[in-house]
Structure 1
Amino acid sequence: MAADREGGARRTPARAVAYAACGAVLLAGCASMPDSGDLRGVESTPRQDTQVRVFAMPPRDDAPPSEIVQGFLEALTSDDPSYSTARQYLTTRAAQNWEPERSTTVLADGPGTEADRSGGREESDDYSFTLTGTKVAAVDAQQSYAPASGGYHQTVHLTRDKKTEQWRIDALPQGVVMGKSDFQRNFMSVNKYYFASHTTSATSGQPMAVADPVYVRERVDAMTQMVRSLLNGPTSWLRPVVRSSFPTGTALKKGTTALTPDDQNKLTVPLNDKAARIGQSKCDEMAAQLLFTLQSLNPTVDEIALRAGGRQLCSLSEEKAAAVAARGSETHPDYLYFIDGHHQLVRMAGSVGGNAKADPVPGAFGDGTKPVRSVAVARDEHSAAGVSLDGKALYVASTVPSGSLGEPVLTSAGKTEDDRLTTPTWDAQGDLWVADRNTADPRLLLLQKGGGQPVEVLTPRLDGRINAVRVAADGVRIALVVDKDDKQSLLIGRIERSAGSGDQPAVSVQELRSATPELEQVTAVSWAGDSRLVVVGQESGGVEQVQYVQCDGSIPESGTLPGLTEVTSIAASEDSEAPLFATSKEGLLWLPGGSGWRTLKETASAAFYPG
């Protein structure tokens, strides 16, 4: 599936190459089809060069029911913008009622087909087949991806037209169905952007941009698809915690077909009159949403102009967008941090090379005053939170010379080290998060600005005990490694905030969903982009692996990374240009681009970037 398109992970859209006839490179609609009998299933097309355009073939005269079903299923995997060829396999009424955009069901392999003997014979005027397979994912009408499991069984019914005597499908399930490899070839993951409803950047006070990943058809005018998707609003899962600056009802101007940047990489977006009366600041936010979204698709777009009511409303360049909203992937960490062999906090410059040298971090965590087993550095890199060696106490200290260390801001009453505090984590608002694993009173806690009375975060429907916590830079999503029945799963939750009692807010984590359904043991995790994480884990009976995953549970194209063994931590940044680090029994390791892991001379028990 498409890679997270942030920073160095971006790729430019493929230039489509059209093939007019069925040949070696044509994939869909060109397979040989049986004349009669059962179908063996539509095999998923192997992964192909994304520059190849795939066209469907219409039904031939006097094709039997088996060939009609086969041709229809193959047409679903083509690059036909409106599925017009696929509709030729349907009766007139079925073609009018069929809604392919309602959903996409992804199967492990292409859909199998079984002739329904009770549904008739080819000698009669009706026939039916059952489509079968194993579900791996589903994309809904909002283009939102979700892992799926279980069997797939849907019926396709055919009838023979009394006038033409041609077989056509007259009853079929809504949406489309295809195998995993065809889905990977046809669809790509792209982020659209909204703003966090209740969080702002602690350093700038700007609204925080939040990525909302969706899947769009890669070679079917993806740019216009993304603009329409953005204007339609956030996906249901994210909607409770984000806002859009576009006025309700805003859409592309009637008659707009395809959007294309000019030769200066500027895209002009014509909107309907719902947007005609907006002010300058609101217009800048709208343009920023569009710019962030379209750069996720095509990083060469560097300016957005909005038009409505017959005039230009505003124009926003990439440079000016940085003054409108904050985005995690645009924040460049100054240092990589790690805990050395003396349990002290040290750091190396962000532009790390094989000969990089580590220096102690100023303050109590780096000068030996307070040995620590885990630390999190605030995103502004001015303070840090550390957990004592026994896991009982959480301290917050400045990272400036001579910074004093006060009393712990939190203590755990857990009986063993494994039943006490997890590694803490900071969000962009400057709040500190940590889980207390005390078996008698397990809790997820929030300390506003790193101190004060801890706020207990409600976690309805959490099934298991939290092993690790990582908050996204946007402050509205949280990654939890949850331990249950000796299995450790990675779950992504939505952070909801509301007014509480006194000065304390009411905070909860809602609608937890799995980001790694195939992994049984997740041992380390870090956010690695606006909607992407890097995870260390293993499948049942498998070996430990390092891979990227999207927060919706999908796997990017370049998801698998070189393997490691006995990994204790993984360090990634939302800024994709920052190098990847890990710690294992071999010490501190570095992953330069396009090569394997390299061991650095430093001894480290945990490595991490700010956050």
Structure 2
Amino acid sequence: MEDAERAAAAGRGARSERTRAAGRHRGTLVALALGAVGLLVGGCASMPDRGEIRRVDASQGVDSQVRVFGVPPADKASPADIVDGFLEAMTSDDPQLATARKYLTQSAAQSWRPGSAVTVLSAGLGRVPAPGDKESEEPRWKIYGKKLATVDERSAYQPESGGGRYEEYLQLVQVNKQWRIATPPSSLVLSESDFQRIYKPVNKYYFAGNTLVADPVYVRQRTDPDSRMDPTTQTVQSVLAGPSKWLGPVVSTAFPTGSELREGTKSLSYDGQNTLRVPLNDIASNVAQPQCQKMATQLLYTVRDLTTSKLDRVELLKPDGKSSLCWVTGSTAAAIANRPPSPEHQYYVDKDARLVRMMLDANSEQQQDKPEPAPGPLATAAGFKVGSAAVTYDEKRAAVVSEDGHNLFVVTLTTAGPMPQQPLLTSRSGKLTAPSWDAQGDLWIADLDPATQGLWRVPAGTGTPQKVDVAGLDGGKISGLKASSDGVRIALLVEKDGTRKNLFIGRIERPEGKGDSPRILVRELRPAAPQMAEVTAMSWAPRGRLLVVGRESGGVDQARYMLSDGSMVAASLPGATGLSAIAASEDEGKPVVGFGEDGIVWLPSGAQWRTVAAGGRLPVYPG
């Protein structure tokens, strides 16, 4: 039982704000320390149900491999003990929160819907008797904390800008001489550590035009207390319910309005051929084959993101659960998803201020012996020095900013010829940021000139530059940017007061209008790395994530993956200190590329960092 004991003890640390406010804990949780922990690490999808039971505090940040359950109310427990017991039981892994409901009156237990929304606090809950209340009467208790985020009815994580105060009141009444809560919280209320133990992030997928877009949400790691659905079924139902409110204005779903799972569906399973079969209701079953295959593609990419098992086929079924509507395999879905092509080269600016490239082989762990100059006018232009660059996804064109940062040019990479005579955009007294392409062929760049400062878009990389209205900058200055490949999101490094840089993501809206180039807007900026005191470099990464170089308060610069909704750090890169630039490909098989003291460095999958070009800088992948 050594593994089980280590798992049960993993999270012991400082007590939460709730512990300090209460002044005592009643020990109202027990943890089932799971045996066979190695099975979990190895990717086993099932959860053992045996092991040592021990009493714990929820504030201990219990390890995710430990099942935590509430303890029912004791006979004639005081109002304080009822409140403490309920708050602890609310953090349990009980799939139906049955123990938490025992602290409520019968009517409150029946009407409470904790799965409809979640309030995430930066620490634990505080609780105090409401002013003027006495325990001998019908007391009210105030629960409070610092709000970090909310998870709404569509499972989307919404960071609380600047942090807000959470506060609700619990009314206690006596039922058969036992204190019970008549007014439970309007949502599930969890500390950040409890939230990350109980919920897991997953991308669901929708279409922007013909391109599949990741929409990050959270689902319970085990059965949902309201719907009784397992995680896979919860996730599929979330896809059918539609995109998150933030992404909704710029994406669409192939599922008809009113599409749901067949009534009574609580669990979806795989067969021996890695096929997931999904029974739908009548509304979803009356569609043509092309639309049906787009529906199945949304589910295949979504469930692949949720599980570690290899899912290669999704079949949609009619309400009888037997008749097939359509199916897609991984290769069919890939064609429908219209994702960017895998890059053939990795680009950077060398010590002579030339744009150069290195060939990537099929395994991404080898490079050609020497980098070669990017072909086309850049290879023959005498005296032109590159400050920064971006290459289209098809690697046929490059956008380059002159070394002095003043002028933007777009050149071909397929034919020789002279450099363009006139720049597309000029920053007269400031500098232009590094440019970025999206998969729709639009070019994005920011100007730091005080007179023309802001975000600019060059339609198709050839049209007249358009200044883009960015809502929510609040006086900040865009000092770096990266458009997502799907063309509906843009990551912005925003500098305020000339000091630190913070990372935000904005939604790119393309209103339908007259002409070929309707006015583009960037709306609803949201923090993408609130855990970091400063961000110095970033890149989009596979599955809608961000790869970010930055530091926490008092820390050193590190490179780490972030979920694009700003909810959490997904993973850190080993040994990634001292980097000032970073680049990742949408193809997970390609190496991460960085720029540091040793020049251009690569991190192939499953390997260590290695220097591939001393003296190079500003690495980029197509995009």
**TM-score where L is the length of structure 2:** 0.86
Match for 1:280 among 289, 292, 304?
289
Aligned counterpart, 2:9:
none
Q: Distance in 2 between matches of 1:375 and 1:13?
A: 44
Equivalences for 1:88-487 in 2 at 5 Å? 88-116=102-130, 118-121=132-135, 124-148=136-160, 149-161=163-175, 164-197=176-209, 207-220=210-223, 221-298=230-307, 299-310=309-320, 311-328=323-340, 331-350=341-360, 351-353=364-366, 357-367=370-380, 369=382, 370-400=384-414, 402-415=416-429, 419-463=430-474, 464-485=476-497, 486-487=499-500
Match for 1:44 among 47, 50, 59?
59
| Counterpart AA for 1:272 | N
Unaligned runs of 5+ in 1: 1-9, 25-29, 32-41, 198-206
How big is each residue's C-alpha offset from its partner over 1:539-579, in whole Å with a ceiling of 9 and x where there is no partner?
444432222211111123424653422x3311112222221
The alpha carbon displacement at 1:456 in A equals 2.4
Aligned counterpart, 1:27:
none
- On the 8 A contact 2:359/2:367 being kept in 1, the answer is no
| Counterpart AA for 2:269 | T
Change in CA separation of 1:451 and 1:355 when aligned onto 2, cut-off 3 Å: closer
| Counterpart AA for 2:454 | R
The alpha carbon displacement at 1:77 in A equals 1.9
The alpha carbon displacement at 1:594 in A equals 5.6
Q: Distance in 1 between matches of 2:434 and 2:622?
A: 13
Partner secondary structure for residue 243 of structure 1: coil
- On the 8 A contact 1:361/1:367 being kept in 2, the answer is no
Partner secondary structure for residue 387 of structure 1: strand
Aligned counterpart, 2:20:
none
- On the 8 A contact 2:358/2:368 being kept in 1, the answer is no
Match for 1:570 among 569, 578, 582?
582
How many aligned residue pairs are there? 566
The alpha carbon displacement at 1:475 in A equals 0.6
- On the 8 A contact 1:271/1:308 being kept in 2, the answer is yes
Q: Distance in 2 between matches of 1:333 and 1:176?
A: 44
1:523 aligns with 2:553: no
Q: Distance in 2 between matches of 1:394 and 1:354?
A: 30
Q: Distance in 1 between matches of 2:260 and 2:203?
A: 19
- On the 8 A contact 2:381/2:418 being kept in 1, the answer is no
Aligned counterpart, 1:545:
558
The alpha carbon displacement at 1:510 in A equals 0.8
- On the 8 A contact 1:209/1:474 being kept in 2, the answer is yes
Q: Distance in 1 between matches of 2:519 and 2:266?
A: 45
Aligned counterpart, 1:200:
none
Return the structure number with greater relative CO, CA threshold 8 A, min gap 6: 1
Change in CA separation of 1:74 and 1:357 when aligned onto 2, cut-off 3 Å: farther
**TM-score where L is the length of structure 1:** 0.87
- On the 8 A contact 2:349/2:616 being kept in 1, the answer is yes
The alpha carbon displacement at 1:271 in A equals 0.6
Partner secondary structure for residue 118 of structure 1: coil
- On the 8 A contact 1:430/1:450 being kept in 2, the answer is yes
Deviates more, 1:478-487 or 1:598-607: 598-607
Change in CA separation of 1:557 and 1:450 when aligned onto 2, cut-off 3 Å: closer
Q: Distance in 1 between matches of 2:142 and 2:581?
A: 47
Partner secondary structure for residue 115 of structure 2: helix
The alpha carbon displacement at 1:487 in A equals 2.6
Change in CA separation of 1:456 and 1:145 when aligned onto 2, cut-off 3 Å: same
Aligned counterpart, 1:84:
98
The alpha carbon displacement at 1:465 in A equals 1.5
| Counterpart AA for 1:16 | M
- On the 8 A contact 1:394/1:408 being kept in 2, the answer is no
- On the 8 A contact 1:524/1:537 being kept in 2, the answer is yes
Change in CA separation of 1:595 and 1:133 when aligned onto 2, cut-off 3 Å: farther
How big is each residue's C-alpha offset from its partner over 1:243-281, in whole Å with a ceiling of 9 and x where there is no partner?
101011010111212111112111111111002221010
Q: Distance in 2 between matches of 1:333 and 1:354?
A: 13
The alpha carbon displacement at 1:225 in A equals 0.3
Change in CA separation of 1:496 and 1:290 when aligned onto 2, cut-off 3 Å: same
Unaligned runs of 5+ in 2: 1-40, 224-229
Q: Distance in 1 between matches of 2:115 and 2:208?
A: 28
Q: Distance in 1 between matches of 2:193 and 2:89?
A: 15
Q: Distance in 1 between matches of 2:130 and 2:396?
A: 68
The alpha carbon displacement at 1:285 in A equals 0.3
Q: Distance in 1 between matches of 2:290 and 2:159?
A: 39
Change in CA separation of 1:68 and 1:596 when aligned onto 2, cut-off 3 Å: farther
The alpha carbon displacement at 1:80 in A equals 2.3
| Counterpart AA for 1:420 | K
The alpha carbon displacement at 1:112 in A equals 2.7
- On the 8 A contact 2:590/2:605 being kept in 1, the answer is no
Q: Distance in 2 between matches of 1:228 and 1:11?
A: 28
| Counterpart AA for 2:318 | A
- On the 8 A contact 2:547/2:584 being kept in 1, the answer is yes
Match for 2:74 among 49, 60, 64?
60
> What is the alpha-carbon root mean square deviation over aligned residues?
2.3
The alpha carbon displacement at 1:13 in A equals 6.5
The alpha carbon displacement at 1:236 in A equals 0.5
- On the 8 A contact 1:145/1:214 being kept in 2, the answer is yes
Q: Distance in 1 between matches of 2:53 and 2:319?
A: 49
Q: Distance in 2 between matches of 1:356 and 1:89?
A: 70
The alpha carbon displacement at 1:494 in A equals 0.6
Q: Distance in 2 between matches of 1:192 and 1:377?
A: 28
Change in CA separation of 1:307 and 1:414 when aligned onto 2, cut-off 3 Å: same
How big is each residue's C-alpha offset from its partner over 1:471-497, in whole Å with a ceiling of 9 and x where there is no partner?
101110111111111231111011111
The alpha carbon displacement at 1:135 in A equals 2.5
How big is each residue's C-alpha offset from its partner over 1:218-260, in whole Å with a ceiling of 9 and x where there is no partner?
1221100001100000011111100101011010111212111
Change in CA separation of 1:367 and 1:44 when aligned onto 2, cut-off 3 Å: farther
Q: Distance in 1 between matches of 2:344 and 2:368?
A: 17
1:556 aligns with 2:569: yes
Change in CA separation of 1:125 and 1:262 when aligned onto 2, cut-off 3 Å: farther
Q: Distance in 1 between matches of 2:285 and 2:81?
A: 52
How big is each residue's C-alpha offset from its partner over 1:291-338, in whole Å with a ceiling of 9 and x where there is no partner?
11111112522111111254311011111112222135xx42212111
How big is each residue's C-alpha offset from its partner over 1:41-93, in whole Å with a ceiling of 9 and x where there is no partner?
x642435143x433333223333223322222222222222322211110012
Aligned counterpart, 2:508:
495
The alpha carbon displacement at 1:150 in A equals 3.3
| Counterpart AA for 2:437 | W
Partner secondary structure for residue 232 of structure 2: helix
